[in-house]
Structure 1
């Protein structure tokens, strides 16, 4: 923006005009003409009113690549009406991009991070230890960006499609030595008064322990408008009903389904839409197409949170998590992961539409870590046939690459998957008694949900089991006597029977041109998208660490 120094020039003219001859005045006028042309740069905006942090849990560069390839090049991409442009790309094109390391820092530093530590480092701008919630690396309680924003008079919110007490949302508003202490986390979220909007699943840790058998407790939840699917069981060891306490003692309005959420008019809102995690991305795609979703989508929760929080004239902090990208990565389930990325990008689009014409808001979109070591890869399976190309450079030779580099049809086939690998486990044996599941059970289950079809021989490998080489009777997962048998990377599949999903991933791998390296996380740097005033966003266009991102967001809010 151009600004002329007219005031300075006029002052100079007046000062010299008294007792000066015409020649001196002419010289001053000439100076004014020069000064008028001086361009004064605008003052950089270094603080904002609002910060929106979006976390694609498990969304490393590879996962972003899957989303972008599908959007741009799938034969029947759902982005065709948008010219293949994702909401993430809108932020990349109009904002800045960087990378962020995410491993645990500090005296207890490690190479690979879990969601609790990573989210804590984003939330506090300080080093944290593995599996801690809202503590520094020495175990001290430290204020999070959400708590500081609330103290500064701003509204605050947490949104997730997993559980509201799960590691990522919990790290912004609770302080616990371990992420598994979800009942205690639920108490903190409600009692602290620090979070105005809480939207997710996870009702099971808000409900009294005897909810399953006590008719009176069930009648209370029904009277509040909760469907039975939300209050079907509890993970508490006491008889506190935090849902009732949230309403009666702490002033929260309640919502338990999509219609109730849409109807709320409040500035303090608790939405619990599932007993545990919310609907997966494949189930969401199906109900969206049929127009019969009972749960709100991540996009709808995001829009409601923005509507509520933006009523505060002092601004707000909002964290939104697409948490099931990570769950699909742990399962080594590429089809499910694609649908989770699509669901997350819908929420990103809602934020983009809200913020695109504003200059008072910083949006940061990133991941806590990468999950699964996922990637498309070329192989020697299904080698290409020779074809003839018309180009004058072929010199009479056929076009015949040495390897199978993967057809674009895989993008469409992955999208067509009609159930997650967990649905396949349920179908193979409803009781998860996989010692009793036959190769035919596995083949039938996989081929029922997958657009790719496996043979009986491939399915037999899925059901292979062995005595647990890492058996530990006191460990939550390694107490299993028998676990799935892996011929590779055995040490990196840590979740006992759940890891039969990764065996399914291996059975489908050659058909999909997909490889997986682990059932846990990797140390890959993750993408960072930043949108907002240039004076705020330019600092994110670098290689950084999640501790740095936390500090930059706090500085942007003036905290």
Structure 2
């Protein structure tokens, strides 16, 4: 794809804002050898920022443009490049019977182009399996791939290669993925692919330690002794468990499982990505390998790439970690942009399943700015002193400088001295924003769970962290302490959070590829229609 220039319509992500302001923009190419023939698209790459609403995109752009620590150094983000040289739309994502979507349902609608049900994967509203865009590509002789920085069997990748009534059936989802013979699968979640007997730490355990080189924690969550790694090898898959393994595979089927559960969070990745001794690949590295292998298929390919931990940071109301997750995802987006712009046969779709957290920067009555002199004539007899604190740019730098995610801070607390003083010390050592001991006590306070449901995966506990407002929107047990930490820091960060779950906020749809194809995505739509369009694109029908 040749580089494109904007004409007539100004089309961009509004830098420094936390909402997208342009929908349905168009462009032309300055030097294009791209045919507008419907058969032009051979490859479809779908990139999903899980939990990435317009607010999260605004956070990234604010940091990229306004932070003194910006790693972009006056360069555009990958997302901005995609938008400025492609087309931009918005999409709703609710299930068939509800207002708010979970990842499984939303991804299923993207994958199948059919309405789906909450927490189901690859099914229609009646519980029937529906061919996904990945399966359609496979049926047409194309190569297929799934990449995620969460778990391979997590909701979003599962929706493209499995058909189950509930997303939690990850043991069965792993079997579905293998039966689908997805050519390249790269993610975390080894625990669903190895036999239960490894937990006894006998011969099977030692064999896996040797096979993985000790790079991944060996513990199974299976209820049987199926060894899906052995099955994969018999089917011709190369296995990878670390960066070295990954680098040595140049073609053929590849299964890479690089973590027990989710892969590195964004802060951990930022801190280690330039370390030559790092063993776990990043999202960009996995994306690069997937493209290298899949593009060898002359018939083309379908590839889904998920930045899944944006959602996890949103659930934790952790703005610093969420920024780093956006940086990690954008690194992969930029790689795909640079790869695809040199071709005339590839459609890239960048979107999200939903927004998580109801995140936003906001102005406040706290920490009011000092008056200062402004040289313009209008201020000849007055100082510049806004009534409220609209948020200084150094907040962005401080978010970037966070040393650990809230989840890891609380994990350190749980494994050490359990006092409010200890928690405050951990937070203040790992964040540029401090909490007091009184605030730490509030984070650690507990109350009766007013929404107790016996046997419920999340609500069985009779005691929950104490939430003072909107408590029903914080659902994940002790993980709510992460959200309470986010609330404690929010005044200093000029950040507001609306929930510990998802919102119905429409999400961006960025299309980049041949003009005649990408222009069809510049509208206000629904994920069901996006799924239909993706299937038409992979079939060469648009």
TM-score (norm 1): 0.89
CA distance in 1, matches of 2:79, 2:449: 42
1:468 alignment partner in structure 2: 449
1:539 alignment partner in structure 2: 520
Is 1:158 matched with 2:151? no
Choose 292-301 or 309-318, whichever is displaced more. Answer: 292-301
Q: Please, what is the CA RMSD of the aligned residues?
A: 1.4
1:410 alignment partner in structure 2: 395
Query: How far is the alpha carbon of 1:395 from its aligned partner?
Result: 3.9
CA gap of 1:293–1:229, structure 2 versus 1, over 3 A, is closer
Match of 1:350 among 324, 335, 343: 335
CA distance in 1, matches of 2:276, 2:368: 42
2:14 alignment partner in structure 1: none
**Preserved contact between residue 215 and residue 241 of structure 2 (Cα < 8 Å):** no
Gaps of 5+ in 2: 1-33
CA distance in 2, matches of 1:363, 1:426: 38
SS of the residue corresponding to residue 299 of structure 2 reads coil
Match of 1:128 among 101, 116, 119: 116
1:443 alignment partner in structure 2: 424
Largest Rg, 1 or 2: 1
CA gap of 1:360–1:43, structure 2 versus 1, over 3 A, is closer
**Preserved contact between residue 303 and residue 350 of structure 1 (Cα < 8 Å):** yes
**Preserved contact between residue 137 and residue 539 of structure 2 (Cα < 8 Å):** no
**Preserved contact between residue 36 and residue 516 of structure 2 (Cα < 8 Å):** no
1:7 alignment partner in structure 2: none
2:205 alignment partner in structure 1: 218
Query: How far is the alpha carbon of 1:189 from its aligned partner?
Result: 0.9
CA gap of 1:184–1:42, structure 2 versus 1, over 3 A, is closer
Is 1:56 matched with 2:37? no
Choose 377-386 or 152-161, whichever is displaced more. Answer: 377-386
Match of 1:247 among 225, 228, 233: 233
Is 1:87 matched with 2:74? no
1:69 alignment partner in structure 2: 62
SS of the residue corresponding to residue 137 of structure 1 reads coil
CA gap of 1:43–1:265, structure 2 versus 1, over 3 A, is closer
CA gap of 1:467–1:437, structure 2 versus 1, over 3 A, is farther
1:9 alignment partner in structure 2: none
Choose 53-62 or 440-449, whichever is displaced more. Answer: 440-449
SS of the residue corresponding to residue 293 of structure 1 reads coil
CA gap of 1:518–1:227, structure 2 versus 1, over 3 A, is farther
Match of 1:230 among 185, 193, 216: 216
Is 1:104 matched with 2:113? no
Query: How far is the alpha carbon of 1:210 from its aligned partner?
Result: 2.2
SS of the residue corresponding to residue 332 of structure 1 reads coil
**Preserved contact between residue 197 and residue 205 of structure 2 (Cα < 8 Å):** no
- Structure 1 ranges of 4+ moved more than 6 A: none
CA distance in 1, matches of 2:257, 2:180: 18
CA distance in 1, matches of 2:387, 2:429: 33
CA distance in 1, matches of 2:287, 2:37: 29
1:523 alignment partner in structure 2: 504
Note the alpha carbon deviations across 1:183-234, whole angstroms, 9 max, x for none: 00011111232x100000000001111212232112321342x043524211
**Preserved contact between residue 207 and residue 231 of structure 1 (Cα < 8 Å):** no
2:24 alignment partner in structure 1: none
CA distance in 2, matches of 1:511, 1:394: 29
Match of 1:263 among 248, 251, 259: 248
Match of 2:411 among 426, 451, 455: 426
TM-score (norm 2): 0.92
**Preserved contact between residue 203 and residue 272 of structure 1 (Cα < 8 Å):** yes
1:514 alignment partner in structure 2: 495
CA distance in 1, matches of 2:110, 2:463: 38
Gaps of 5+ in 1: 1-40
1:137 alignment partner in structure 2: 125
**Preserved contact between residue 242 and residue 281 of structure 2 (Cα < 8 Å):** yes
CA distance in 2, matches of 1:478, 1:148: 39
Query: How far is the alpha carbon of 1:51 from its aligned partner?
Result: 0.1
Query: How far is the alpha carbon of 1:84 from its aligned partner?
Result: 3.6
